[in-house]
Every structure is written in C-alpha cells, then in structure tokens.
Chain A
C-alpha cells in the first residue's frame, strides 16, 4: 500500500488455550485500513481460531485485541460486529430457510433501530427504515452481478448452489456495514472458474466496497492474486510474514506444509 494507513486491527501477544492445549500462542498481527491480508497455514494452525478470537466467539486467554484503537476483548460478538467487523464461515452458516433477500436484510439488524412495536403500528419512520434495509440488501446482492439477481431473491437460501451460498455469505456480511471483512476460505469447494471469479471479487470488494479484508485461504493462486501481505501460521505461532513471494519461499513455511524432509531437499 502506498500511504501508511492507520492500524485498523491490532493483535498483541494474543494467546488462546483449550485446557492445556495452546491453539494460538502470543500472536502479534496488524491489519491496516485498506489492506488485503491473507492468513495461510496447514490445518490446525489456528487460523479459524484467530477469526473466532477477533469476532468475540472466544475470549483470548492472554493478550490485547484492538479495533480502530479500542480494545474489543470481552465484548459480545454482536457488539463487535456493530463496531465494524463482519465475517463469513468456512462451513457456511446461512439462514437456510429464509429467502436470499431476507438473509441479507437480517444482517442489517445491528445498524437499524425500529423496534417491534413501531413495526406493529407501522409508523412512518419504521416503514422508511424498512425500505432502506430492503434497498441496502438489494444493493449488496447486486454487487455480485448476475449471480444473485432477480427472481432468486425470493428463493429460500437452501436452493442456492454451493458457490452462490458462498457469495450470499459475503453479501450478508457486507450488509452489517463493516470496515473489516473476515473471509474464511472463500474459495473452498469452488471450481477453477469460480475460484477465479472470487479472486476478482475480493479485489472488487476493496476497490468498490472500501472494505479492509483479512482472509484465510488455502488456494495459493487466490492468495497470490489478492494479497498485499501474507501471514503464515503454524501451531498457533506466526512463522512468516511479508509479500506472497517471500512467504511462499520461506523455508519454515515450506516445512510446515510439507514436512522437514521436503524442506531439506529444497
């Protein structure tokens, strides 16, 4: 990135242990506004745990997490989301029996106000807000071009294909009006064409949507295509950080992925 922007997300010495098992160990991590940062690492490296820590599902056993300069440790997940962090899930957690549009509209809950009694009385303010939510949802869905358009809006989410479910998850996350978007393996289970599309889409999310993005990804083509910076984790410890090329050739990263022998051969 050109201008050194402010730190949007800051992790200092964050550790997480379940019982005696340390999953994340004294992790320092920064994400600056406007960046796309990728987190890579073998399975069990603590990547998803990292997301769970940032979004408040887990409370770190030690360390500080700051978002826009304020500590978010100990906040409820929904409060963190309201501050501007939204995420998608590796295993897809859509509201399957709600329509596509409702999935996105539901996520606007955090930044809207009209209570249920106003809804029952149908006050003008509530109707205005409801229209605004609807428009917001449609704009977010329109972001994906043809993919999530038109008559699909009223289909239940379970009728979508796998790739479209991933897209809908991203649309839903953006409807919370976040500044930081956490994407958990957005290209998992996609075919090459779709993977290519998602790579472009992530770029577009930054340029057009203005989101800062932290992404977990296994597909190195995607990582290479999108990342300003790559962070490699192994056993909860940061083992490398830097440009894609630097990290991808780092012997410790190769070792983490392929084992010691392969690293030696290299």
Chain B
C-alpha cells in the first residue's frame, strides 16, 4: 500500500510536468496542425535557463532571496526565455513554410530540435546540472509536507503539482475568456475563415508559441527541481509530452492535462511494479495500442475529411 501511494505521488508529479509539455504541443498543433518536434528541446533549454538564473541568485546553498521568491524568479526567467525562443523558432523556421507541403515544416522542426540540442551541448557541454533543491532552506522542501498513511508527501512535490495546475488554469482562462483566446480557437477551427473575419492569424500563432513555450520553460524548471538535467533530456521528454497530447486528444486543453497525468501514472507504475528498464517500452506499446483503438484521443473529435 505504501508503495502504491508513493508511486501515485510520483505519477502525479511526473504527470503534471508532462501535461505542461503536452499543452505546448496541443496549442501549436491545434492552430498550425504542426508537430513541433523542437518543443522538447525548448523544455530542455528552459531547465538550463532556470539553472542559470539559480546560479545568478546565489545557488541553492546560499540564495540571495527567500526560497519561495527564488523558485518564482527562476520559473519566470525560464518561462520568459523560452517564450522568446519559441517566437524566434516560429518566425525563422516555421513561418516561411506556412504554405509549403505538409512535410516541410515537420522536417524543419526536426532540424530545429537537433540544432537546439547540439547548440546547447556546444555551449555548455553534456554534463548534468543539478539544481540541488535539497539544499534549499536546509531541506525544508523535502522534510516538510503532509503524510498519507506512512508516506510523506514532500513540500516540493506539492509545490510542483500545485503550480503546474495553477498554470494550466491560467491557460484555460486565457483561452476561454480573453479575446485573443477566442481568436485562437477560431483560428484552430478554420484558419482561412478566421483570417477573413479580421483575425490577425500571424499574431495568434505567435501567441500560441509564446504560451506553449512558456509552459515548457516552467515544466523544465519543475523537472529539474526533482532530477538533474542535461542537454539530452529534450528528446524523450518531448516524445512523452507529445504522446500525452495524443492520448488526451491533440488540440484539446483538458485532453492534454488528462493525457499527461495518464502517462505520468503509467510510467510511475510500470517503473514501480514491473521494471525500470522496460518501462519506456511498455509505455510506448500501450500507446500504440491506444492510438489504434482511439486515434482521436480521449477528448478529441474524429476528423471529418474535407473534399
């Protein structure tokens, strides 16, 4: 029972990180119908920006600001940096291909992903970077928290899950309540029609990249708070985030959240009960099966072909 609770907590934390990544995929796919393969690497860059900001603020052993402010600041730095990165990527790698054959931006996205990963390796090497969250406030983030049965839920996990969900709610409000959000939804239904109705489609697309990349940046920091980061994490994290988006129904915001959690649980439980070595394999096999049974995802609608 204790293991179960422990794994549930792990799954929850992991899942909320995946959900944040998945949202970025979903936002962009919803509007551009583009699989942004570079998204995972934006996430990786986010974790590095967070690391850089952490060092600037004195590191985790001797921070210059209180812990809560430190966490907020590094997350904001990562979000801002990634948002900028997302805009640059969109402007230079995707926008020129807006009317190109379908496969062209996908290949460009592969190029961006590769370019980002190896540029980071070129600049910072392939060593691991550890946020050393354990040292923050003398381990308060790990020792404090509440108990479920015999299992302690550390404060850090609570912070990660809570802030991930807070961000998702903010996003949800942005998309459903604001004018730009409405424009986004209109654009995702029909780009041409939206353009004819006076919506500045370019701006909407940039906005989607800003939001998605900022979430990826936040996810990067959350990920790196619980495990060391390096320049290679982008690929697998991106793949999983994307998978989460597909499970939930790509293009759907609640879908991305649900998909992220499902994936997080699936991974945590296979690791805990079956095997660490084979957990990725199991996750992907489950996914292929899932995509066969319900290709439109949990919350997606089946495609209607237009002729």
Q: Do chains A and B touch in the complex (CB under 8 A)?
A: yes
Interface residue ranges, A against B (CB under 8 Å): 18, 48, 51-52, 57-58, 89-91
Q: Does B69 contact A (CB under 8 A)?
A: no
Report the Cα distance A183→B28, complex, angstroms.
Answer: 37
Report the Cα distance A58→B304, complex, angstroms.
Answer: 9
Q: Is the CB of B307 within 8 A of A57?
A: yes
| B contact residues around A52 at 8 Å (CB) | 307
Report the Cα distance A245→B304, complex, angstroms.
Answer: 37
Q: Does B277 contact A (CB under 8 A)?
A: no
Q: Is the CB of A57 within 8 A of B304?
A: no
Chain B interface size, as a band, is under 10
Task: Determine the residue in chain B with the shortest Cβ distance to A58.
Answer: B305
**Min CB gap A95→B, angstroms:** 13
Report the Cα distance A210→B278, complex, angstroms.
Answer: 63
Report the Cα distance A52→B306, complex, angstroms.
Answer: 10
Q: Is the CB of A48 within 8 A of B307?
A: yes
**Min CB gap A45→B, angstroms:** 15
| A contact residues around B307 at 8 Å (CB) | 48, 51-52, 57, 89-91
**Min CB gap B45→A, angstroms:** 37
Of residues 256 through 307 on chain B, the ones whose CB sits less than 8 Å from some CB of chain A are 304-305, 307
Report the Cα distance A90→B307, complex, angstroms.
Answer: 8
List 5 tightest A-B contacts by C-beta distance, closest first.
A52-B307, A57-B305, A57-B307, A18-B304, A48-B307
| B contact residues around A18 at 8 Å (CB) | 304
**Min CB gap A161→B, angstroms:** 21
Report the Cα distance A52→B304, complex, angstroms.
Answer: 12
Of residues 216 through 257 on chain B, the ones whose CB sits less than 8 Å from some CB of chain A are none
Subset of 10 A-B contacts with CB under 8 Å: A18-B304, A48-B307, A51-B307, A52-B307, A57-B305, A57-B307, A58-B305, A89-B307, A90-B307, A91-B307
Task: Determine the residue in chain A with the shortest Cβ distance to B306.
Answer: A91
| A contact residues around B305 at 8 Å (CB) | 57-58
Task: Determine the residue in chain A with the shortest Cβ distance to B301.
Answer: A19
**Min CB gap A54→B, angstroms:** 12
Report the Cα distance A67→B64, complex, angstroms.
Answer: 80
Interface residue ranges, B against A (CB under 8 Å): 304-305, 307
Report the Cα distance A52→B305, complex, angstroms.
Answer: 10
Task: Determine the residue in chain A with the shortest Cβ distance to B305.
Answer: A57
| A contact residues around B304 at 8 Å (CB) | 18
**Min CB gap A188→B, angstroms:** 14
**Min CB gap B192→A, angstroms:** 13
| B contact residues around A90 at 8 Å (CB) | 307
**Min CB gap B92→A, angstroms:** 27
| B contact residues around A51 at 8 Å (CB) | 307
Report the Cα distance A91→B305, complex, angstroms.
Answer: 14
**Min CB gap B99→A, angstroms:** 14
Report the Cα distance A90→B306, complex, angstroms.
Answer: 12
Report the Cα distance A51→B305, complex, angstroms.
Answer: 13
Report the Cα distance A18→B304, complex, angstroms.
Answer: 9
Report the Cα distance A223→B82, complex, angstroms.
Answer: 59
Report the Cα distance A149→B305, complex, angstroms.
Answer: 34
Report the Cα distance A171→B6, complex, angstroms.
Answer: 67
Known: A18-B304, A57-B307, A91-B307. 7 other contacts (CB 8 A): A48-B307, A51-B307, A52-B307, A57-B305, A58-B305, A89-B307, A90-B307
**Min CB gap B307→A, angstroms:** 6
Task: Determine the residue in chain A with the shortest Cβ distance to B101.
Answer: A97
**Min CB gap A64→B, angstroms:** 22
Report the Cα distance A48→B304, complex, angstroms.
Answer: 14
Report the Cα distance A89→B307, complex, angstroms.
Answer: 8
Task: Determine the residue in chain B with the shortest Cβ distance to A55.
Answer: B307
**Min CB gap B103→A, angstroms:** 13
| B contact residues around A57 at 8 Å (CB) | 305, 307
Report the Cα distance A48→B307, complex, angstroms.
Answer: 8
| B contact residues around A48 at 8 Å (CB) | 307
Report the Cα distance A57→B125, complex, angstroms.
Answer: 53
**Min CB gap A20→B, angstroms:** 13
Task: Determine the residue in chain B with the shortest Cβ distance to A48.
Answer: B307
**Min CB gap A86→B, angstroms:** 14
| B contact residues around A89 at 8 Å (CB) | 307
Task: Determine the residue in chain B with the shortest Cβ distance to A51.
Answer: B307
**Min CB gap A66→B, angstroms:** 22
**Min CB gap B104→A, angstroms:** 14
Report the Cα distance A150→B307, complex, angstroms.
Answer: 31
Report the Cα distance A182→B307, complex, angstroms.
Answer: 14
**Min CB gap A55→B, angstroms:** 9
**Min CB gap B300→A, angstroms:** 14
Task: Determine the residue in chain A with the shortest Cβ distance to B304.
Answer: A18
Report the Cα distance A48→B305, complex, angstroms.
Answer: 12
Report the Cα distance A169→B271, complex, angstroms.
Answer: 56
Task: Determine the residue in chain B with the shortest Cβ distance to A52.
Answer: B307
Report the Cα distance A51→B307, complex, angstroms.
Answer: 10
**Min CB gap A265→B, angstroms:** 33
Task: Determine the residue in chain B with the shortest Cβ distance to A93.
Answer: B307
**Min CB gap B96→A, angstroms:** 20
**Min CB gap B3→A, angstroms:** 45
Report the Cα distance A18→B305, complex, angstroms.
Answer: 11
| B contact residues around A91 at 8 Å (CB) | 307
